[in-house]
Structure 1
């Protein structure tokens, strides 16, 4: 078991995440720690990091180092970004950090910061094309992604904290508009950004998560996690309007924001609004992954030709099955049988390939909850799908999968639940594989028979009643 510690000493906050990597390559974040270091706040008029800022950085990194020792960290990846990058005395800061903590920090360039943010998103979201934006405290990285590849990137030396400071002399009621105009003009200097018209925006970092919190409170909706949360253009415009007119105290109430976030959320939202207006973005997606996850995936995939996954869903499901001690081969047999049944009954349900894919992954992950409780595993599978690190699925897709697994929700999902139930009986009790069976629909009669002939030798009476109720189909087995 390998324990990896990643420290991201950012311009607004400093964060530690510890990953555990198992012998079979399975992984999970096992510990997180955050400090509101606010290094950009300590940059003086000459762009030097003040003595107080250096002391703050040393104190917080020392706390991370101590926590890492308690948790048995075997390898460290410490990086720092825009605030120290912009500091005139950055060499002194990095040297003193090393002297006091024993950690050698890597100072990322703006392009490297963009690259790692891209890696963190592209390996955890099933998205092919989009404009990614990572709004930090002292810089904003914008990335264009085509066919899952990074084609353009720029690091702009203005973030939520530095923009707040830059426009603090403007009357409060005009600050948001002033920052929006300033950032629109800044984005206009990059022709490739203007060429991204109509693409969705993927927001990375604390500002994006805060926008999701505000959207949730505005619509009074439940949110199990921020990653993959989608905000339409109208809602984004409503958030901008609410932020524009509100005081710091009122902003806190909009999304139950922290004091620090409420002080600068207007600047972050202005950046998003400026970018969305520049490309007429139809929607805004929130990513819970970014730079730290990108650093992790580079480490995890260091022996691969590329650190970019082709299939996020497949990779993430396999990782989850290994973490929760589910036999992936057995799960795949159940999933294969389920989609064979789906295909056989297609003339009756007329559902497309996207639903077929969700049925497959619902069947693959159906047994994860047995890791917690074998008798009530469906309840725990539901919880794990939403609460652990299953990537590549939208929140709507996750909701559909849990309904298929539990047999609840719309009629379609209750029907698909039967396919998993029948598939489990065929695999678990009969030891059958899909490739060894024939599935034939003739009128309203479904015949399942061994390809080699002979009896199926399984009692399917209970499932047969369900098929007849949901589809009007009579099940026939030899």
Structure 2
């Protein structure tokens, strides 16, 4: 099934068509974005101007054709701050319905914040976070503790709104303009005390300006992947960009840096908002989410189509409480029956918790992707996936671990190719995770159970309890030999005869690491 989401914002109108799979997961298959500046006039009046409304309707007619061409089964059309704040917003809604057939569902500020948070949190899965979505007309803020929303609000701090209020006619900002704008932002933002923000809170951001800044930083720092989700920007980087851009005209920003036309006029104001959030709430970095309001609306609609229509915040809160924890735990190693093994490995300090996390994502990835011997294609396909919790370095380790479990030489070549992203000790992590993937493959396919313990002599003993008569003993022995070498300790494996209930004693096979 295909579902189209049309997001009518203050600066741009966006269309994303999603393919919804049988398990209710989804992926974007078509995307459009058009700058219309629908909310531009609201900086100096209370109404949308006729020109921007006509342009918006023409864009929506194009999007209607695209949705039909792509055979979308359903189109959801939402409006945000520009439509809800304008005195003639209802007139615009009526004209859109008359000329395009689209019924616009106007979100109030709280709903916009909730949907934006839902979309971002599904793919970041950060339990304690301050989330923001910076749009053209408004800034949404959501504070959560253990995935429970504590505060949610929309503030009149959109990048287009601030640009039209404080910029000169040519789009540039004087120092006085910037100082006045910064003061407005700081006065409007709540305080840490207002929200009760804890020390373990992380800052997560969404919106076109933040993603554009992330891509700019990646390009100029030599980052090797075009991947923005989960990318980190430091306060120092944001501060440096703020100083570089603040005195420039949009035309100068466009000629010197590779920002698209929808961003050059609002990027300065956007940087000042992001910088003010980080300074006022004492954050040293912001995690960029590649997901936001459109994904939140879609996830909510898939679970219950009535929530969007009924303006029901209570129901939306319940959806968030159900959807976000599910996405946070769907990759857990317990889903593969290997939680005992993972706990044992951590307890005996054979693996670190982050290595177990990467192992669980590797198992999840292998369970979803079709088997292939095209390893380079597999490597880059894994890097193209978006994983909650994992940094970009950890995602490279994940991809390398899967390749190492299949062909060591290829994985080592890629490790050294991307060594500037990695640390030398990461190779050992790759090797450990890879050999455990091979062991897990045997355990899962034979539906066996496994426990691990470390003896007083520092020997590692695998106890494997098969549930089938046929068991790949030779393959297991090969994996255990490699494990002994990688972990650099003697390894024993013990297979109790639970199938035939033989009276003979069970054998324990010992393997020592090769020197």
| Bin of the TM-score, shorter chain as denominator length | 0.7 to 0.9
Unaligned ranges ≥5, structure 2: 306-314, 405-410, 412-425, 495-506, 508-515
Matched, 1:126 2:141: no
Contact 1:135/1:160 (<8 A) preserved: yes
Q: 1:469 aligns with which of 485, 488, 513?
A: 485
Contact 1:19/1:31 (<8 A) preserved: yes
Matches of 2:453 and 2:447, distance apart in 1: 16
Deviation of the 1:254 alpha carbon: 6.5
Contact 2:214/2:228 (<8 A) preserved: yes
Q: Give the aligned partner of residue 50 of structure 2.
A: 51
**Count of paired positions:** 454
Contact 2:3/2:17 (<8 A) preserved: yes
Contact 1:345/1:441 (<8 A) preserved: no
Q: Give the aligned partner of residue 164 of structure 2.
A: 165
Matches of 1:254 and 1:448, distance apart in 2: 62
**Closer, same or farther in 2 for the Cα pair 1:463/1:163, shift >3 Å?**
same
Name the SS for the 2:440 alignment partner: helix
Matched, 1:155 2:154: yes
Q: Give the aligned partner of residue 68 of structure 1.
A: 67
1:75-86, aligned counterparts within 5 Å? 75-86=74-85
Tell me the alpha carbon deviations over residues 388-446 of structure 1, each in whole angstroms, 9 at most, x when there is no partner: 45445332332232232223552122122111112224444xx2422xx4545444354
Q: Give the aligned partner of residue 327 of structure 2.
A: 312
**Closer, same or farther in 2 for the Cα pair 1:341/1:87, shift >3 Å?**
closer
Contact 1:342/1:356 (<8 A) preserved: yes
Q: 2:398 aligns with which of 397, 401, 426?
A: 401
Contact 2:10/2:80 (<8 A) preserved: yes
Matched, 1:3 2:18: no
1:7-26, aligned counterparts within 5 Å? 7-26=6-25
Q: Give the aligned partner of residue 34 of structure 2.
A: 35
Tell me the alpha carbon deviations over residues 76-106 of structure 1, each in whole angstroms, 9 at most, x when there is no partner: 2111111122222111111100000011101
Matches of 1:26 and 1:143, distance apart in 2: 24
Q: Give the aligned partner of residue 373 of structure 2.
A: 375
Which deviates further from its counterpart, 172-181 or 30-39? 172-181
Tell me the alpha carbon deviations over residues 262-306 of structure 1, each in whole angstroms, 9 at most, x when there is no partner: 221010010111122211123211111111111111112228952
Which deviates further from its counterpart, 18-27 or 125-134? 18-27
Name the SS for the 1:266 alignment partner: helix
Name the SS for the 1:60 alignment partner: helix
**Closer, same or farther in 2 for the Cα pair 1:288/1:30, shift >3 Å?**
same
Matched, 1:113 2:130: no
Name the SS for the 2:474 alignment partner: coil
Contact 2:157/2:273 (<8 A) preserved: no
Name the SS for the 1:158 alignment partner: coil
Q: Give the aligned partner of residue 411 of structure 1.
A: 428
Q: Give the aligned partner of residue 416 of structure 2.
A: none
Tell me the alpha carbon deviations over residues 10-31 of structure 1, each in whole angstroms, 9 at most, x when there is no partner: 1111111122223343432222
Contact 1:197/1:281 (<8 A) preserved: no
Matches of 2:161 and 2:451, distance apart in 1: 65
The TM-score, its normalising length taken from structure 1, stands at: 0.85
Q: Give the aligned partner of residue 295 of structure 2.
A: 293
**Closer, same or farther in 2 for the Cα pair 1:438/1:108, shift >3 Å?**
closer
Deviation of the 1:121 alpha carbon: 1.6
Matches of 1:425 and 1:253, distance apart in 2: 57
Unaligned ranges ≥5, structure 1: 319-330
Q: Give the aligned partner of residue 203 of structure 1.
A: 205
